[in-house]
Amino acid sequence: MKCRKCGGRAVLELRRHNTALCGPDFVGFFRRHVLETVRRWRMFTRDEPVLVAVSGGKDSLALWDVLHDAGYRTIGLYLDLGIFDYSRASKARCEGFAAERGLELRVVAVADEAGAPIPAVRDATRRPTCSACGLSKRYLMNRAALDAGFPVVATGHNLDDEAATLFGSTLRWDESALARQTPVLEATHPKLVRRVKPLFRMSERETAAYAFVRGIDYIVEECPFARGATSIAHKEVLNRLEDTSPGSKAMFLQGFLERARGLFQARETVTLAECVRCGQVTTGEVCAFCKLRDQVTRATRPSRPAPAAEAHPLDLPGTRGLIADLHAASEIHAP
Amino acid sequence: MKCRKCGGRAVLELRRHNTALCGPDFVGFFRRHVLETVRRWRMFTRDEPVLVAVSGGKDSLALWDVLHDAGYRTIGLYLDLGIFDYSRASKARCEGFAAERGLELRVVAVADEAGAPIPAVRDATRRPTCSACGLSKRYLMNRAALDAGFPVVATGHNLDDEAATLFGSTLRWDESALARQTPVLEATHPKLVRRVKPLFRMSERETAAYAFVRGIDYIVEECPFARGATSIAHKEVLNRLEDTSPGSKAMFLQGFLERARGLFQARETVTLAECVRCGQVTTGEVCAFCKLRDQVTRATRPSRPAPAAEAHPLDLPGTRGLIADLHAASEIHAP
């Protein structure tokens, strides 16, 4: 198979683009696509410093690589979830990446902020792990960016991630989730920073190939808590459709963004306030992260004769509706 | 496995309803669900005669059986597509069903109306067979009902059919198709009759079980042209999701009808006129079926020195946009 551009040996066939490219030409292709996405979707300008949320996986490190190479001012943010060896290994990859390039990496540990690492948060809240983790990550990303004066956080979500999320939301016709599905979540409140996904048009296979060709040392393992996740089943469905009809994933996501999202967005109304406890944005009085932290505090305190539940100073009435709040918290970026 | 109602031997487990039923109790369950659907969606009243479009398959014959048994005034309509043995066998099933019950069956042959049977129509138009066939069926059903003074045509589309159609439209975010997806297409023009789908909440497995338990002799084979159809691939995807999570097909369709369809419908504007040739409804000047018939006429005429293409009296400018017209024709029921 020959590179369509230079005639050299192709390393990757891109069926949906009906082309095949050698390593260097693929790197150029990938970068052009990502930077064009940044410009066309007005994700950030040359003047804006970008906080890149990195997990140690191929997507976020590929994103950081592209942005740094293109001359954007970037700092990495690693959120240490405290998920045993998985977190240790992924943190090492981020540190290695930053050190090699002389880039700054900031590390925030969920355990310091939520009171316990993700495995203990899961036990304390008895909620799906990915939900508590997602809430914590969105909260901490936003706060880290605000504290450091960054107007924008970029994440490594790729086409497969976005199409799978859309697929799940569509199967449930979850109007709020559909209204929020966009590669650019604007800052609709002074306490929110813009959240952007410059890789949303690149497939998982393409980001993996980019990371490989660029020699990026990334963590290959998936998070141990992701096993059996619905999003993985949905990715498999979409992969089968893509096999039969190359381009269907992109068509599904792009068609939604162009023709349907506006309908759901127009119906969505969210009133934002500041959390009376931490000052971050919430749709209620106390934000979902503060409630989560309360739950963790209660669950991890050494056992002793418990006072009557209603007398506990942290047992605010609102904490009982945590599921609804976690849901609302993921909406706070809805325009 | 025991019947949850009478304790007898169950013949069918209904996972999404978390129950199992014996033959007689399943028949009762099925009928109640269908009749409740007719009432709740105001498909037709007791006073309205119903033209039931039957294909000889399990769904449409099960529908006719339920409606006739419940005392509705029904007449069957069989559209003879002229698809070789498949059509002969399916027509015989419809005739047998009607004769056994002393019901009237009307037969309309596509060959008489379009100028050729479906296989020749396909060759003449070089279009996907299912598309030309669907157009012909919708047109002829509507005309047969109008001619005979029926206010409503009922078809046997089941939950699997409707969910697969919705799935395909959603993957493409086809706004017009999404706006039209409903179990009740109202008559929005004097030349249109209402089109309803009383089985849209019953799964394919359930209609098959009903036909089996009721001893209905139906044609098991699929139409030979349906092989490899995208809708079949989509049904398989939905079946896998249903296996993992029973009820997901119904949730997908119901969620759409409750929360999303209105958004697409509100944006849809279609202006209806009467075809200058046949008087049936069209969004243009000449309807898609008349254009289809013209194409068939030209293609099936004995060959002789052809006059210049532009001089041919039937080669109206509009016929060149047949694909767009076929598309528009499927929209004519859009409210």
Lookup result for tokens 């792990």? A129
Chain A residues lying within 8 Å of B255, measured CB to CB: 171-173
The pLDDT tens digits along chain B (335 residues) read 899 999 999 999 999 899 999 999 999 999 999 999 999 999 999 999 999 999 999 999 999 999 999 999 999 999 999 999 999 999 999 999 999 999 999 999 999 999 999 999 998 987 789 999 999 999 999 999 999 999 999 999 999 999 999 999 999 999 999 999 999 999 999 999 999 999 999 999 999 999 999 999 999 999 999 887 888 889 999 999 999 889 999 999 999 999 999 999 988 888 899 999 999 999 999 999 999 999 999 998 876 654 544 434 333 333 334 444 444 444 345 33
Instruction: Enumerate residues 6+ apart whose C-beta is below 8 A from A139.
Output: A280, A287, A288, A289, A329
Q: What mean pLDDT is predicted for residues A218-230?
A: 89
Q: Residue A264: its chain B contacts at CB < 8 A?
A: 260, 263
Residue A285: per-residue pLDDT: 95
**How far is A252 from A257, CA to CA, in rounded Å?**
9
Task: Kindly state the tokens that stand for A87.
Answer: 């977190």
Nearest CA in chain B to A263: B263
B255 touches chain A (CB under 8 A): yes
Nearest CA in chain A to B260: A173
By C-alpha distance, the chain B residue nearest A245 is B230
Q: Chain B within 8 Å of A229 (Cβ-Cβ)?
A: no
Quick: pLDDT tens for A158-208: 999 999 999 999 999 999 999 999 999 999 999 999 999 999 999 999 999
- The beta-strand segments (E) located in chain A are 12-14, 19-21, 50-54, 74-80, 105-109, 152-154, 184-185, 194-196, 273-274, 281-282
Quick check: ipTM above 0.90? no
Identify all chain B residues contacting A263, using CB atoms and an 8 Å cutoff: 263-264, 267
Q: Do B173 and A260 touch (CB under 8 A)?
A: yes
Chain A interface test: which of B167, B170, B181, B257 (most A C-beta within 10 Å): B170
Longest Cα–Cα distance of chain B, Å, equals: 76
Helix (H, G, I), strand (E, B) or coil at A157: coil
User: Concatenated DSSP letters for B54-75?
Assistant: E-SSHHHHHHHHHHHHTT--EE
| pLDDT exceeds cutoff 50 at A27 | yes
- Please state the pTM of the whole predicted model: 0.88
**B299 Cβ under 8 Å from any chain A Cβ:** no
Mean pLDDT, to the nearest integer, of A276-283? 95
For residue B333, the model assigns a pLDDT of: 52
Q: Which sign, positive or negative, has the C-alpha torsion A289, A294, A108, A157?
A: negative
Which residues of chain B make contact with A267, given a CB cutoff of 8 A? 263
* pLDDT attached to residue A234: 93
A282 min Cα distance to partner chain B (Å): 25
Q: With H, G, I as helix, E, B as strand and everything else as coil, classify residue B12.
A: strand
- Nearest in space to A26 (alpha carbons), one of A191, A209, A166, A291: A209
Task: Identify the pLDDT of residue B303.
Answer: 66
Name which residue leads in pLDDT, A93 or B245.
Answer: A93
**Probe site for chain B from A170, A234, A249 (most B CB atoms < 10 A):** A170
Longest Cα separation, chain A? 76
User: CA angle B306-B310-B312, nearest 5°?
Assistant: 55
The interface residues of chain B toward chain A in range 264-293, judged by CB-CB distance below 8 A, are 264, 267
A329 vs A157, A163, A274, A315, CA distance in Å?
Answer: 19, 22, 12, 19
pLDDT at residue B313, rounded to an integer: 39
Residue A228 reports pLDDT greater than 90? no
Closest Cβ opposite residue A173 in set B172, B240, B260: B260
Neighbours of B190 (CB within 10 A): 10
Tell me the residue type at B50.
V
